Amino acid sequence: MINPFAVLLLLAAYICCLFLLARWAERRAELGHGVTNNPYVYSLALATYCTSWTFYGSVGKALDSGLLFLTIYIGPTIAAALWWLILRKLVRIKSRFHITSIADILAARYGKSHRIGALATVVAFIGSVPYVALQLKSVITTFTLLAGNGGANSFLGIGPLVVLLMIFYTIVLGVRRMDPTDRHPGMVATIAVEAVIKLIALVGVGIFALFVINSGWDDLFSKLTPEQAARLLSIGGGEGASYVTWASYLLLAMSAILFLPHQFHLAVVENSDEKHILTASWLFPLYLLLINAFVVPIAAAGLAGGLPSATADTFVLGLPLRHGSTALTLLVFLGGFSAAMSMVMVSAMTNAVMLTNHILLPVIEKIPALSLLKRRLLQCRWASVAFLILVSYWFEVAVGESYILVNIGIIAFGAVLQFAPAVLGGIFWRGGTRLGAGAGLGMGFLLWMHTMLMPALAKGEPFWQGPMTHGLFGLPFLRSEALFGLTGLDPVSHSVFWTLLFNTGCYVLVSQFTRQSKEEVAVVGEFVGLAQKFEAQAGAQVEASIDLTEKCRLLENTLTQYLPRNQATEL
């Protein structure tokens, strides 16, 4: 065990270094020499996808389900091959319509619809809760393992301390100030560095497991029983996963790489040059390959070393800790902290932006008594960050003990899968309408809550077990994991099938029987058009000059509702 005060001191020093790096990157950007305007930094930032799910949870999933864990990384690799078609279009739409979130792009495509934006925000927020909870669980568990139960208890519970640390970290590095472009060069720079640290740490443990504890592959696998080796190298472990299960996991991962709120922000909003996508299309899959290369050896070394399989999520930290390698243990802890914090920071920041833009501001407009909050939007974002992390902590306490890390993450993946029909349909199909998108997204989200979220809550709270056992409203055909009598699929495939069927079906059918509004007609061509650059083309009737006096007055009057008049005038 390591002194918990030493661990906290190390974390404090690490966070200070990241803050200094962020300030340096921001100053460079202000001088026009941004360090984040680089294809390699952009590609590394996308590696936020490799959260503590990857860092710790992949080993646990390998012991639980064999090679099924690879689907979470094969899916994004397949998606990366399509980025030049899909991601490039999203980046150009972002630049044309000043998109700052996934809720923005849906609202803009479907007639500047506040309701679509609000619905997308709710889906993104509730879908982010399990994923943030996963990160909290990993940090709490590994700190407890590192410091020992006594060390954790001496702090009156490590959970609240981790929650406060993550709220502080997110506000300091991600939501410190209002940025009209919602781009954060300092944050991106720290994320890129964290990506390198977690890769070095995980590869270091893999080499340690293979060549320090053991004498290579042959020696390592000779220490396993035939049943253990077969389970690790099977396609489904003890579950006997089918090809339908693999297809479902692949589909979830392919959608998550773009539609998780934090991934959308880093891939689309933070993109400064669409040519960076070409580099990311090969560098990001290479990163995924490297960071997963030692998952099976680490899992095998843990089993061979006598570590309990029930604690497989902590094998990455447990191996160097058990063999007395303090330096590697601390590096692994920093790597796991980096994997968790980079995701929490971006997710909390993007959700805070969506909550203030699509939920709070419309409410303020309808309730004049709340107008004073317009001057406090930054503080409202801080409160939104704290709200997301606190709700996630509640979810971790309620559900965390019943699930391994990867299975908590799958719940979040199921939520963001519901964005796929409306977003992809919105940029490739002219016929999609606002009512169709709302019906599809809403129905898919409700079914996700019933078929995936409710079973998760039922594992920790008896209150939610009724729909699992007797069906919603007491109707047997509405049981969460046997909807409409379908019982031949595993729970994940079952949820993916029904949510996508109803989501896509409602989107297409309702769109066929409804008409687009004038606002939708005005923008649909630019959203659905080929991947050409959007350029303003002067027509024959363009005026030679425009009087800006009145326009500036209107803009200044609007901005002064949110900012001091001197700042509004400067803008």
Q: Which residues, including other chains, have CB under 8 Å from residue 445's CB and lie 6 or more apart? A: 119, 122, 123, 415, 418
Q: What percent of the chain has pLDDT over 70?
A: 91
Locate 188 and state its tokens.
């991106």
pLDDT, position 155 = 44
- Per-residue pLDDT for 462 more than 80? no
Angle between helices 58-65 and 315-322 (to 10 degrees): 100
- Could you tell me which of 354, 165, 166 has the C-alpha nearest to residue 260? 354
pLDDT, position 534 = 45
pLDDT, position 474 = 74
CA distances from 178 to 160, 175, 327, 552 (A): 27, 7, 39, 21
152, 155, 157, 161 alpha-carbon torsion, rounded to 10°: -110
Residue 1 or 98, more confident: 98
At 61, is the pLDDT very low, low, confident or very high (cuts 50, 70, 90)? confident
pLDDT, position 154 = 43
- Per-residue pLDDT for 548 more than 90? no
Q: What percent of the chain has pLDDT over 90?
A: 45
Residue 410 contacts residue 252 (beta carbons within 8 Å):
yes
Residue 167 phi, psi dihedral angles, 5° rounding: -65, -45
Please give the mean pLDDT across all residues of the chain: 86
- Per-residue pLDDT for 26 more than 70? yes
Q: What is the CA radius of gyration of the chain?
A: 24
Q: What is the pLDDT of residues 468-478, one digit of tens each?
A: 777 777 777 78
Q: What is the pLDDT of residues 373-403, one digit of tens each?
A: 888 888 899 999 999 999 999 988 877 666 6
- Per-residue pLDDT for 261 more than 70? yes
CA distances from 205 to 233, 303, 403, 495 (A): 20, 15, 24, 35
Q: What is the pLDDT of residues 152-194, one digit of tens each?
A: 444 446 888 889 988 988 888 878 776 655 678 889 999 999 9
What is the b/e burial string over 118-149, where b = at least 16 CB atoms within 10 angstroms of the residue's CB?
Answer: bbbbbbbbbbbbbbbbbbbbbbbbbbbbbbee
Query: What is the dihedral sign for C-alpha 238, 239, 240, 244?
Result: negative
